[in-house]
Chain A
Amino acid sequence: MKCQKCNKSATFHITDLTGDGVLALHLCSDCAKHYLQPETESIEAPEITGVLSQQLKLEQTAEDLQTLDARECPICGISFYEFRQAGRLGCPHDYVFFGDELEPLLVSVHGSNEHTGKHPVRGAYDAQSQTELIRLRSEMKQAVSREDYEKAQSIRDQIRAIEGHRRQSPNEPS
């Protein structure tokens, strides 16, 4: 038997009770699927940017949001506005710098804001020297772009000093 809606073979034989009486249908699997479930819900997870904008709408006044949007991470320079547009952060320090805003977001996405899994074997990271390197590299970029090579060179020396120090430390095998 052929499907009543297309020409494939009918594998579904449906008897539907409608307002006008009994409706007998002979359909292939594709058409039957369509007939039985005309609306298929989206199975994708909500986008992070959507969750964030909804949360901000509920909690912030327009002026507050404007001030918040203008805040920039001192390490990588990303603004809160840029983060909420793209849904991606700029550097590890953003988790601390935008911590108050991120906390409710983490709770609504994960149902928690506390990591309970694996830790790096070598223990907690030394936040200061890590972010220092990111900051110095970005300062160096700025110095180069305004052609202040003297400044850029002095920053590069500082970076090398930190990197050199870390190479020798037992935590950082070279």
Chain B
Amino acid sequence: MHIDDLASRSGEWLRGVGPQSDIVMSSRIRLARNLADFPFIRRCNDIDRANIDSTVRERLSKDEILKDLTFIDVATLANLDRQFLVERQLISREHANSDGARAVAIDGEEQCSLMVNEEDHLRIQVMKSGFDLDGAWDHINDLDDRIESQLTYAFHEKMGYLTACPTNVGTGMRVSVLVHLPALVITNQIERVFRSLQKINLAVRGLYGEGTQAMGDFYQISNQITLGKSEKDLINQVGEVVPVVIDYERKARKFLIEEDQNELFDQVSRAYGMLQTARRISSEETMYLLSRVRMGINLGLIGDLQIPKINELFIQTQPAHLQKIRQAPLSTDERNVERANFLHQHLKVSDN
């Protein structure tokens, strides 16, 4: 598998299928793990990092499932390719931008990614389309068992899996569900939803993780604490609150339709029209408009477009994706023109 082959596909988390996929984009679980016989990354020199990298590769090749993962050497990867992997959520921004030997191993469906030498020696991640935390847990739990049969993890009887940052110790687990909440944003209820989630120790972040703006009305809801609760409890904590948020979003959508369907139809149609006809468009504006169109499709206001297509456009209009697809480095201004061209091609007006 080559990185360039990924560009034309949308990957697991944007497939647009699975339970509640009109509102839930994807379910993701990650586990932070460290090898017992190496210092944490902060105290590793180049030799340690290279050793960890080669030990992991060598050991994983002995497992009948793990041996099929494709290892990508992130350290020697071009900037554009790193950015591309960040946009696909296969590596973190920190992993892309740090120094020294580091890698990521991914499977063909892009459901699983294994970062080597991120903040911890290993960051295992599994993504499923739609609302499917149980599926994600079964998958990652099996991967974790397989890795653990090949490598010795740093584990303490009382404190659990030991991590570089004490905020991840214990289960080392972060469960997160990516939801699309345009109606809660439009009706101005989103801040209130966030505050109530925070009160029960859940975090809300933007699409690309900590510190990023909520682009395209996408939000990740995830657990904050990792110690003192079992993996199942942490999954349930997020799993129980997501249906409530889904219900709020549906109510807000219903409210918008009942209050003024023509106004909503107008907004959605204008967004669609802008995407079809713009000659120069930024990534932010594209996300904003695609978000409206996505909601419009789900509410039956737009009939000639499918959700998977819209999901594809969300990722393919990101800066690095656009450059990979066009196979040329582009300046911001050139990207804005190319993005408009790309959208124009993919959203051709059907009835002219």
Cross-chain pairs A/B with CB under 8 angstroms, 16 sampled: A11-B186, A33-B188, A76-B39, A88-B41, A92-B162, A102-B166, A106-B169, A106-B227, A109-B225, A110-B227, A112-B227, A118-B144, A122-B148, A122-B152, A124-B157, A130-B152
A59 within 8 A of B: no
Cross-chain contact A121 with B148 (CB below 8 angstroms):
yes
Which residues of the other chain, B, contact A122 by a CB distance below 8 angstroms? 148-149, 152
Complex: A131 Cα to B261 Cα, angstroms: 66
Complex: A90 Cα to B119 Cα, angstroms: 11
Q: Mark B200-232, 1 if CB is under 8 A from A, else 0.
A: 010110000011000000000000111111110
Cross-chain contact A121 with B267 (CB below 8 angstroms):
no
Of the four ranges (under 10, 10 to 19, 20 to 34, 35 or more), the interface on chain B belongs to: 35 or more
Which residues of the other chain, B, contact A5 by a CB distance below 8 angstroms? none
Which residues of the other chain, A, contact B36 by a CB distance below 8 angstroms? 92, 125, 130
Which residues of the other chain, A, contact B158 by a CB distance below 8 angstroms? 113-115
Which residues of the other chain, A, contact B170 by a CB distance below 8 angstroms? 110, 115, 117
Which residues of the other chain, B, contact A57 by a CB distance below 8 angstroms? none
Smallest CB gap from B151: residue in A: A172
Identify the interface centre among B153, B165, B228, B263: most chain A CB within 10 Å of its CB: B228
Cross-chain contact B198 with A115 (CB below 8 angstroms):
no
Complex: A171 Cα to B153 Cα, angstroms: 12
Would you give the shortest CB distance from B301 to chain A, in whole angstroms? 15
Would you give the shortest CB distance from A108 to chain B, in whole angstroms? 10
B135 within 8 A of A: no
Complex: A88 Cα to B41 Cα, angstroms: 9
Cross-chain contact B159 with A118 (CB below 8 angstroms):
no
Smallest CB gap from B58: residue in A: A174
Cross-chain contact B62 with A173 (CB below 8 angstroms):
yes
B156 within 8 A of A: yes
Which residues of the other chain, A, contact B234 by a CB distance below 8 angstroms? 117
Complex: A29 Cα to B162 Cα, angstroms: 46
A48 within 8 A of B: yes
Complex: A113 Cα to B210 Cα, angstroms: 25
Cross-chain contact A120 with B43 (CB below 8 angstroms):
no
Complex: A43 Cα to B42 Cα, angstroms: 28
Smallest CB gap from A82: residue in B: B42
Cross-chain contact A113 with B227 (CB below 8 angstroms):
yes
Residues of chain A at the chain B interface (Cβ within 8 Å)? 9, 11-12, 29, 32-33, 36-37, 40-41, 43-45, 48, 75-78, 86-92, 95-96, 102, 105-106, 109-122, 124-125, 129-130, 133-134, 137-138, 141, 171-173
Q: Which residues between 35 and 63 of chain B lie within 8 Å of chain A, taking CB atoms? A: 36-43, 45, 47-48, 62
Which residues of the other chain, A, contact B227 by a CB distance below 8 angstroms? 106, 109-110, 112-115
Q: Interface majority SS on A: helix, strand, loop or mixed?
A: loop
Complex: A109 Cα to B198 Cα, angstroms: 14
Q: Which residues between 276 and 323 of chain B lie within 8 Å of chain A, taking CB atoms? A: none
B332 within 8 A of A: no
Cross-chain contact A118 with B231 (CB below 8 angstroms):
yes
Complex: A144 Cα to B147 Cα, angstroms: 33
Cross-chain contact B145 with A121 (CB below 8 angstroms):
yes
B154 within 8 A of A: yes
Complex: A115 Cα to B160 Cα, angstroms: 5
B237 within 8 A of A: no
Would you give the shortest CB distance from A4 to chain B, in whole angstroms? 17
Complex: A9 Cα to B267 Cα, angstroms: 9
From known contacts A40-B191, A43-B204, infer whether A48 and B228 are also in contact, taking CB-CB under 8 Å: no
Would you give the shortest CB distance from B182 to chain A, in whole angstroms? 10
Which residues of the other chain, B, contact A130 by a CB distance below 8 angstroms? 36-37, 152, 154
Which residues of the other chain, B, contact A118 by a CB distance below 8 angstroms? 141, 144, 171, 230-231
Apart from the given pairs A40-B191, A130-B154, A133-B38, 20 other A-B contacts in the complex at a CB distance below 8 Å = A29-B186, A29-B188, A37-B188, A44-B203, A45-B203, A91-B40, A95-B159, A106-B169, A109-B227, A113-B159, A114-B228, A115-B161, A117-B173, A118-B231, A121-B149, A130-B37, A133-B37, A134-B39, A137-B39, A173-B62
